[in-house]
A and B are shown apart, each in its own frame.
Chain A
Amino acid sequence: MTATTHIPSRVGVFGSFWRDANAVQKAAALIGVTLVLMAVLAQAIAPYDPLQQSLISRLRPPQGFERHKPGFLLGTDELGRDVLSRSLFGLQLTLGLALAGACLGLLIGGTLGLLAGLRRGWAEDVTMAAVDLQIAVPFTLLALLILALFGTSLTVMVCVLGIAGWEQYARIVRAEVRKITELPFIEAARASGGGQRYVALTHVLPNIVSPLVVQFTLSFSNIVILESTLSFLGLGVQPPTATLGTMVGYGRDYMPTAPWLVIAPAALIVLITFSVQILGDWLRDRADVRLRVR
C-alpha cells in the first residue's frame, strides 16, 4: 500500500527484513529458528534414547516437583521414557512430516496451476473442477477415509498432508500466471521464439515465487495442525514412534495424575503454529500480495 518500493539487494535481503520487523516478529523468528535447531539436532542434544523404557521410574514429574528423578528435566512418561527426549524427537518428526507434506502440496498444486494458467482449455477445466471438489469435502474427513483405507505409514501421512494443501497453490499459481502472461515481456519472449516450456520455466515461474513462498509459510502451520490432529486421534504415525500430536493424544489418558505428559508437546505445537503464522503474515505484508487466506 505504501508508495515506497523495496528493491533489496541479494546480500541485504535478510538485513532489511530484520530491520523492518517489530518485536513480536523478531521473537517469532527467533523461536522458529530455535525450534528448527532443536529438531535438526535432536539426535545430538537429547539426553536419553526416546524409546528407552524404565518401568521402575514411570510417571515421574519434572525437575523441582516432589518425587522427581534427577536428570529427567521434564519428567518421565507412562513407560518411564524421558519426556524431554521424546519431545525433541517428536518435534523433529512433526516438522519433517509437515515439511515433506507442504513440499508435495506445492509440487502438485504448483504444476497443475502452472498448466492450467498456461494451457487454458481442458487442462484448466479439469484442474479447477478438482479444486472445487477438494473444497467441497472438509479435508479432515477425507484424511480419515484415506488413512483408514491405506493404513498409517509415514508415506501415507506425507501424501495426506500433501493433498491437504495442493488446491490453494493451484488457485494462486493459476491466477498469478494468468496475470503475468498478459504482460508484454511474456509476449516478447514468445515472439523471440521461446517455446512453451522455456517461457514457463524461465519467465513465468521466477515471477510467481514470492506469492508461493508466502502461501507455503501460511499453509505450513495448517499442515502442522492437521498432522497433530490426526496423530492426536490415533490415526497418525503409530507407536512407539511419536509426533507431538501422538504424545498429546496418549498423554491425555494420564492427565489427572501426570499433566506434564501433555503440557510439553502441546506447548511445542503451539510455539510452532504461532511463530510460523506470524512469520507468514509478516512475509505476506512484505510481499504485498493479496492472498485469500482461508
Chain B
Amino acid sequence: MTLYVLRTLAKMALTLLTIITLVFFAARLSGSPLDTFLGDGLTEEDRALMIEYFGLERSVWHQYIAYLRGILDGNFGLSFMERRPVAEIVAERIGPSLQLLGSAIALTLAVSVPLGVVAALWRDSWVGSAVMALAFTGYAVPNFVIATFMVLIFAFVLNWLPVVGNGTALHFIMPTIAMSGVLIAALTRFTRNAMLDVLGQDFMRTARAKGLPETVVILKHGLRNAGVTVLSVLGLQIAGMAAAGNVVIEAIFSWPGIGELLVSAAIIRDYPVLQFGVIAVAFAVVTINALTDIAYVIADPRIRMAKG
C-alpha cells in the first residue's frame, strides 16, 4: 500500500519534470524569445538590457537549470508584457477561475447525476432516450457556440444578463451554463452507465428481497455504489475537460481568470506566462489524477489487496 502510494507520487513527479522540460525547450526551439516578442523596433542597448534582465545571455542549459531552480523557489520568471513575476500575475487570477470552475462543477453534479439515474432507470422508455439525446447534444455542440448564442439571446435580444466580467451573481449565469454543457453531457453518460452496471448486481436483488422500499434500494444501494465510479470519472476526466473549457469560456466573457490570461498571453506571445500556465494546469490535473488513483485504492479493498 505504502509502496503503491510512493510509486504513484514518483510517477507524478517524473511526469511533471518531463512536462516542464518539454515546455522549456519548446520555447527555446522557436528562436530567441526577444526576437519573436519584440520584433525589429529594438535598439542594441535596449536589446542588451533586455537580455540581461531576462537572463538570456547564458547557455540554454544554464537557463534550464536556473528555471528549474527558480521553480523550486516558487519563481517562474517574469512576464514579457507586464515585467513582473508570473507567479504574482497568476495568483491574482486563481480566485475568479476557481469560482467559475466550482459553480460549473456544482451545476454539472446537480444536473447530470439525477439525469443519469433517470436515464438508467427508464432506459427503454422515451424518458431515457430523451435524456441521452440531450446528453448527445451537449457533446456535439462546441461550448463557444453555446456561449455565443446565449449572449445573443439573453444579453442582446432580451437584455437580461450582463456579458463582461464577474461583478455580480448575474455574471455567473451564462459562463457557468456554457462551461457545464459538455461536462453535463459526459457525466450524464457515465452516471447512466455506472448505474446500469450496479442495477444488475446481486446485492440490489438482495436489498429488494429484504423488502426495502424502492427509493432506498436505488439511492442507498444503487447510487452510493455507482457514486464511486462517477466521482473517479469526475476526478480523472472532468478535470482536464474543465480546464480546457475554462480557457474558451473565460476568453468569451472576459472573465478575469487564468484561462483569459492564457489566451491573451498566447495572442501577444508572452511565453513565461504561457509556460507557467501549462505547467500549473498540468500540475493540477496530474495531482488530481494521482489523488483519485490513491483514493480509489483506499476505497476499494479488492484493488488494495491486488496492488499490495
Chain A residues with CB below 8 A from B118, complex form: none
Check A133–B18 contact: CB distance below 8 A.
Answer: yes
Instruction: List B252-286 residues whose CB lies under 8 Å from chain A.
Output: 262-263, 265-267, 269, 271, 274-275, 277-278, 281-282, 285-286
Q: Which residues of B contact A225 (CB under 8 A)?
A: 142
| Selected interface stretch from B51-59, B196-204, B240-248 | B240-248
Identify the closest chain B residue to A149 (Cβ). Answer: B30
Question: Which stretch from A47-55, A56-64, A104-112, A251-259 is at the chain B interface?
Answer: A251-259
Q: Identify B15's interface contact among A136, A234, A259, A273, CB under 8 A.
A: A136
Chain A stretch 175-230: residues in CB contact (< 8 A) with chain B:
221, 225, 228-229
Of the candidates B23, B30, B140, B286, which one forms a contact with A150 in the assembled complex, judged by CB atoms under 8 Å apart? B30
Q: Does B19 contact A (CB under 8 A)?
A: yes
**Number of residue pairs A-B, CB distance < 8 angstroms:** 117
Q: What residues on B are CB-neighbors of A266 within 8 Å? A: 145, 148-149
**Which of the four size classes fits the interface of chain A?**
35 or more
Interface flag for A140 (CB, 8 Å): yes
8 A Cβ contacts from B132-189 to A? 136, 139-142, 144-145, 148-149, 151-152, 156
Report the Cα distance A235→B152, complex, angstroms: 23
Of the candidates B27, B141, B265, the one whose C-beta lies within 8 Å of that of A270 is: B141
A137-B19 in contact given A234-B267, A266-B148 (Cβ < 8 Å): yes
**Contact of B151 with A255 in the complex, beta carbons under 8 Å:** yes
Classify the secondary structure of B's interface with A.
helix
Do B266 and A277 have beta carbons less than 8 Å apart?
no
Known: A141-B281, A270-B140, A273-B142. A147 touches B244 (CB 8 A): no
Contact of B240 among A135, A228, A248 (CB under 8 A): A135
Question: Contacts A145-B274, A150-B30, A255-B156 hold; do A233 and B251 have CB atoms under 8 A apart?
Answer: yes
A149 x B19 contact (CB < 8 A): no
Q: What's the minimum C-beta distance from A258 to chain B, rounded to whole angstroms?
A: 11
Judge whether B91 is part of the interface by a CB distance below 8 angstroms: no
Chain A residues, CB < 8 A from B148 = 248, 252, 255, 262, 266
28 example contacts (A-B, Cβ-Cβ < 8 A) are as follows A133-B19, A133-B22, A135-B240, A137-B278, A140-B247, A141-B278, A141-B281, A144-B262, A144-B266, A145-B266, A145-B274, A148-B265, A148-B271, A148-B274, A149-B27, A149-B29, A150-B30, A225-B142, A228-B142, A235-B263, A235-B267, A245-B144, A248-B144, A248-B145, A256-B156, A266-B149, A270-B142, A273-B142
Chain A residues within 8 Å of B, Cβ to Cβ: 129, 132-133, 135-142, 144-150, 221, 225, 228-229, 232-235, 245, 248, 252, 255-256, 259, 262, 266, 269-270, 273-274, 277, 294
